[in-house]
Structure 1
Amino acid sequence: MKILNNKTAISAMILAAFMLVSCDENLDTPPISDGIAQNSYQTGDQLEAALTGVYESFQGNDYYVWDHVLFSDVRSDNSYAGGDNPQIFQIENLAVDVNNDRVYNAWSAIYNAIAKANVVLEQTPNVQRLLTEERREQILGEAHFLRAYHFFTLARLFGGVPLVLESVKSADPGAVRVSRSTEEETYAQIIADLQIAVQKLPDTYGNDSSVNKARATKGAAYALLAKAYAQQPIPNWGEVANYANLVINSPAGYTLQGSFAELFDGSHYNNNESILEVQYLGGNEGTWGPQMQLPQSASGDTWRKFNTPSHDLVNAFDAEGDNVRKNASILFENAPWSDEFWGNANGSSVPFAYKWKNAGGWNSSDHVYLMRLADIILLKAEALNNGGQPGAAADEVDKIRLRVNLPVLDATVRGSQELMKAAILKERRLELALEAHRWDDLVRNNVAVETMNSVQEIDLRTNTQVNYNMQEFKVFLPIPQRELNRNPNLVQNQGYN
């Protein structure tokens, strides 16, 4: 059975609407009816519909459609904001306000997804009709994985967050105003959920790749464990290497796609490199994200687009002679507007983000990779290098480089942990550009401040250099002011007023 993009998604959304309050309320008030939340699930089919609703959060959630790129690539040295949205300019300029709506929307939508997962986790043990024990265990594994994925997203954005681990059952606001956990506690919960998930999830659900890449599997849980152990405040590189190897050697048979360009041509989704991807079909089940980025030739409209690749990113591709990944990731076209970085006159040649190539009039069928094997191979390289094995790390990086016709790393790099660290960071940038990884990579490697303060970008309107004024506290976003107003137990991240 296909979990994403089937007709049950609509019924699941309707069911969730009755069962769950929006995240605007889910930390502060009880559901409209406790009776609905507690008694709605009696059959396996109802559980499957509710689980589909949890997965649908990837499709219908603005964060995973679009904002994940803003908070990683636009916030970093990979992209400029583009467009005309002042709140996205805040993200680009590293001057995010506590009242920024993009930040609030991300917090709210992600907690809404967690709330849906919590209901499935609570109700699944009670359902007896039309549900095998094998499927019950799988559903629990999927829900634990999904909750972990969303908490991982929150931890990367905000640091420690409230760990909401059950549905709202009390009308007393004091009972639902959850305090922030520490960053360490948040990652401990993520890892705990994933360790349960790997015990319950299958390697595959059969031979249909559109199902295996749409749903949580054991390989997806291993991959997320590798990423969580790497991103937590004190990385555990031994566990990163362990779980990366479990992905690489999985019975699911993950392998690098032979052609990098095929990953993003729209005709090779659900390939062997993909570990988990959001399945958009187009039409009523399409995504509007590509329309925000693609030029007139692909989108059919002339308004100024967002997520404009930076000079720094283009120069990085050119310095490496990496034409394969550059041409698959970026498209230059003359724009019918002026651009403050690429040409302060209409008709200037401007680069456009090009990893999603089919706009579809706001209903694109382009998929979004949440995790793919190249990311995990490079993460394994990072773990090996941090474990004192730069030569072994280089072997992993070379697998990625050879696919795009680049030479293997030379002996000088292979023999130095420091040079190898820089090489891995560069390789991850070129491989994963515009896929919402860059900010996390800078933070994990403790180079976010120096990297952003070293960027040389000239605003052509004034012919002055941009000053990002990056400071350590800006590694995390502010807790939305509306959440602080609603929940007095929350504490703002240091550095924000």
Structure 2
Amino acid sequence: MKNFKFILILIFGFLSSSCNLDEDPIFLDETLYDTPQSASAALDGIYQELTNYNTLERRIFVVNGFSGLFVAARGGDNINSSHNSQIVSLKPTYDGDSESMWGGLYGAIAQTNSAIKSITVVDNPSTKDELLFSDIAGHAYFVRAWSYFSLVRLFGDIPLWLELADSENLNKSKSTAKEVYAQVISDAKNAASLLNGASGNGYPKRYAANMLLAKVYMTLATNPDLREGSLTEMDYWQMAYTEAMKVYGIYTLVPNYSSLFTDSNENSTESIFELQISQDAANSQMGRNFTPPNYKASQAYGYLRVHADVYDQHVNTYPGDPRIDATYLSEYANANTGDIIKVYPADATRANFKIANPYFFKFAEKDKTHSNQFNNQNHIIYRYGELLIMLAEISNELQNGQQLGYVTELLDRVGKVPHAGYLGSKENFRDAIMMEYRFELIGEGEDSHNNRRRGFDYFLKNTINKHNNNPGFNANVDLTLNTTKSEVMGLPIPLKEVNTNELIN
């Protein structure tokens, strides 16, 4: 299925890229959605937008870099590089990665707008074609919801395109974040009602839309300025619980945690939303960019390392946790020379910036003989392990007595039990579960949001100051994270958008 699907993507991508500047992109052709075959190819084109370099690799770098948990080994492997001194230190300016990510996500939104406008769906679909068209429309709503959710969490007030741009409609003023969240909810609900699985394996099912809704409701629960009408914090926690429970029990944890980050266990029982990557079609450079240098035979840049104190907290909380070796790498043989390379903690001296922090390992190419610049490994966006943490957090806020059970279910996979921090007050459990997101999911795309979701004060206390004030902090090798509220809570609208959109000041 994976190879077949990306043959369609290659066709769609070629047709799109072959249009000249005087022609409309092929996805604007409404006849593309007239037949099941062409509509399915167009659907693959939508998901291809999420796998291109700007929307995947650059997005991963931005959301991790802006989380307060990483250092960058890019653009100069030193503490004063442009990335480390700006976005990674939570001092964002106008940068090319954020701008490219912005363009990639809005490119996906443009394709979904075309699909939503062009596809005809019927009530109560019953034929094979009716079910397929309904499913494709559901995917369009889901991708649009996910894309806007990704943008609004980082940029706040943004342009809300729900129609196609044309020569008379090239600019869009910003909508408030509250309005964007309302649209995300509407789109995710439409997706949940339309998705039926007719597109086959490898595509997200309606449960991904339910999980997205739960995430949105959790965000609104802790952000009163974004709530609608008379709904209270507890209303939103309850709605989050209702949506998350629609997903609970549908998926299962895979036995081996580390297998989630290989190309041998793709589309597993744990995967809820997974981007399908083909080396030949998608030109994915995830393995090149996020594999430690010289870990494999060909190019490997190791763009991200995890703060040493974040690693230490994981090890101290769960000694012997299998998630540690799957997440961080500190010692390995140079694939080209055989020499042993060591960084912290294998080299505990932290003598210079290059060895002061462990490499982030999840997205590395695990085949050390791999010699291609591109690789095949899929990218999981939503998985069941995260859902269990969400249910634990939600249940704690609702005080329904279920919270410890979900944590136990999660930790049983790695042979651990809930630590003492989970015992005691509601606040104790809250702090413990927010750290569990890191231990289980660090680097997978949600850290930037989860760290900020409970507001600036929580972010300052539990991420920024925890790093800046940790006992092992060394100003010669550790980044000092910014503490200015107006700067650390969001990214500026990209300069290209500001300069070209007449309706944005």
Which residue pairs with 2:237 in the alignment? Answer: 237
In 2, the alpha carbon distance for the partners of 1:425 and 1:371 equals 17
Residue 139 to residue 368, structure 1, CA distance change in 2 (3 Å): same
Q: Normalization by structure 2: what TM-score?
A: 0.83
Deviation at 1:468, TM superposition (A): 2.6
Q: Given the alignment of the two structures, is residue 402 of structure 1 paired with residue 412 of structure 2, yes or no? A: yes
Q: Normalization by structure 1: what TM-score?
A: 0.84
Q: Across the two proteins, how many residue pairs are aligned to each other?
A: 464
Deviation at 1:338, TM superposition (A): 9.2
In 2, the alpha carbon distance for the partners of 1:195 and 1:264 equals 30
Of residues 130, 133, 154 in structure 1, which corresponds to 2:130? 133
| 1:299 match: secondary structure | coil
Deviation at 1:373, TM superposition (A): 0.6
Letter in 1 for 2:239: E
Of residues 88, 108, 116 in structure 1, which corresponds to 2:111? 116
Which residue pairs with 1:74 in the alignment? Answer: 65
Which residue pairs with 2:149 in the alignment? Answer: 152
Residue 337 to residue 470, structure 1, CA distance change in 2 (3 Å): farther
Deviation at 1:109, TM superposition (A): 0.9
Which residue pairs with 1:227 in the alignment? Answer: 215
Residue 199 to residue 482, structure 1, CA distance change in 2 (3 Å): same
1:308/1:351 contact within 8 Å kept: yes
Which residue pairs with 2:361 in the alignment? Answer: 354
Instruction: Tell me the alpha carbon deviations over residues 282-334 of structure 1, each in whole angstroms, 9 at most, x when there is no partner.
Output: 34545211211222453235875211111122111111125311011111127
| 1:371 match: secondary structure | strand
In 1, the alpha carbon distance for the partners of 2:42 and 2:89 equals 40
Which residue pairs with 2:337 in the alignment? Answer: none
Which residue pairs with 1:495 in the alignment? Answer: none
| 1:308 match: secondary structure | strand
In 2, the alpha carbon distance for the partners of 1:422 and 1:35 equals 49
1:284/1:363 contact within 8 Å kept: no
Deviation at 1:461, TM superposition (A): 7.6
Deviation at 1:131, TM superposition (A): 8.0
Deviation at 1:363, TM superposition (A): 1.5
In 2, the alpha carbon distance for the partners of 1:358 and 1:182 equals 40
Structure 1 unaligned blocks of 5 or more: 22-30, 492-497
Q: Given the alignment of the two structures, is residue 385 of structure 1 paired with residue 396 of structure 2, yes or no? A: yes
Which residue pairs with 1:201 in the alignment? Answer: 195
In 2, the alpha carbon distance for the partners of 1:34 and 1:289 equals 27
Letter in 2 for 1:396: Y
- Aligned-residue sequence identity (percent) comes to 23
1:449/1:472 contact within 8 Å kept: no
In 2, the alpha carbon distance for the partners of 1:124 and 1:255 equals 34
Residue 322 to residue 420, structure 1, CA distance change in 2 (3 Å): farther
Residue 254 to residue 342, structure 1, CA distance change in 2 (3 Å): farther
| 1:168 match: secondary structure | coil
2:155/2:492 contact within 8 Å kept: yes
- The 5 A counterparts of 1:285-364 are 285-300=282-297, 305-320=302-317, 321-333=319-331, 343-344=350-351, 348=355, 351-358=358-365, 360=370, 361-364=372-375
Instruction: Tell me the alpha carbon deviations over residues 462-486 of structure 1, each in whole angstroms, 9 at most, x when there is no partner.
Output: 4787253342442110001221121
In 1, the alpha carbon distance for the partners of 2:403 and 2:18 equals 51
Instruction: Tell me the alpha carbon deviations over residues 238-266 of structure 1, each in whole angstroms, 9 at most, x when there is no partner.
Output: 111111100114xxx30111221222243
Deviation at 1:16, TM superposition (A): 3.4
Deviation at 1:144, TM superposition (A): 0.8
Deviation at 1:277, TM superposition (A): 0.8
1:333/1:352 contact within 8 Å kept: no
| 2:71 match: secondary structure | strand
Deviation at 1:218, TM superposition (A): 0.9
Deviation at 1:74, TM superposition (A): 2.5
2:75/2:82 contact within 8 Å kept: no
Letter in 2 for 1:71: V
Which residue pairs with 2:268 in the alignment? Answer: 271
Q: Given the alignment of the two structures, is residue 471 of structure 1 paired with residue 471 of structure 2, yes or no? A: no
Of residues 448, 465, 473 in structure 2, which corresponds to 1:453? 465
| 1:62 match: secondary structure | coil
Instruction: Tell me the alpha carbon deviations over residues 196-242 of structure 1, each in whole angstroms, 9 at most, x when there is no partner.
Output: 1111111x449xxxx53x31311111111111212243461111111
Residue 50 to residue 394, structure 1, CA distance change in 2 (3 Å): same
In 1, the alpha carbon distance for the partners of 2:111 and 2:315 equals 45
Of residues 100, 104, 111 in structure 2, which corresponds to 1:105? 100
Letter in 2 for 1:54: I
1:161/1:180 contact within 8 Å kept: yes
Residue 490 to residue 324, structure 1, CA distance change in 2 (3 Å): same
1:380/1:396 contact within 8 Å kept: yes
In 1, the alpha carbon distance for the partners of 2:109 and 2:267 equals 25
| 2:285 match: secondary structure | coil
Structure 2 unaligned blocks of 5 or more: 225-232, 333-339
1:336/1:346 contact within 8 Å kept: no
In 1, the alpha carbon distance for the partners of 2:393 and 2:59 equals 23
Of residues 415, 421, 426 in structure 1, which corresponds to 2:435? 426
Q: Given the alignment of the two structures, is residue 190 of structure 1 paired with residue 184 of structure 2, yes or no? A: yes
Which residue pairs with 1:58 in the alignment? Answer: 50
In 2, the alpha carbon distance for the partners of 1:36 and 1:365 equals 26
RMSD between aligned residues: 3.2
2:51/2:277 contact within 8 Å kept: yes
Deviation at 1:20, TM superposition (A): 10
In 1, the alpha carbon distance for the partners of 2:281 and 2:26 equals 32
Residue 280 to residue 380, structure 1, CA distance change in 2 (3 Å): same
Of residues 92, 96, 105 in structure 2, which corresponds to 1:96? 92
Instruction: Tell me the alpha carbon deviations over residues 317-375 of structure 1, each in whole angstroms, 9 at most, x when there is no partner.
Output: 11112531101111112787999997445995852211124264322222211100111
In 1, the alpha carbon distance for the partners of 2:27 and 2:405 equals 55
| 1:362 match: secondary structure | coil
Residue 71 to residue 347, structure 1, CA distance change in 2 (3 Å): closer
Residue 403 to residue 36, structure 1, CA distance change in 2 (3 Å): closer
